[in-house]
Amino acid sequence: MFKIVVLISGGGSNLQSIIDTVSTSKVGYEISCVIADRECYGIERAQNNHIETKIFDRKILKKDISKKIDEYLGDGIDLIVLAGFLSILDEEFINNRRGRIINIHPSLLPKFGGPGMFGMRIHRAVIEAKEYESGCTVHYVDAGVDTGEVIEQNRVKVEAEDTEETLQKKVLVEEHKLLPKAIEQVLDKLK
- The catalytic residues are 105
Q: Considering Cα of 54, then 58, then 61, then 64, what sign does the dihedral take?
A: positive
Give the ranges where the chain is alpha helix by DSSP (H).
13-24, 41-48, 58-61, 65-73, 91-96, 120-128, 164-190
Phi-psi map region of 190: left, alpha, beta (phi>0 left; psi -120 to 50 alpha):
alpha
- H-helix or E-strand spanning residue 191: none
CA 84 to CA 10: how far, in whole Å? 7
Residue pair 167/120 in contact by the 8 Å Cβ criterion: no
- H-helix or E-strand spanning residue 131: none
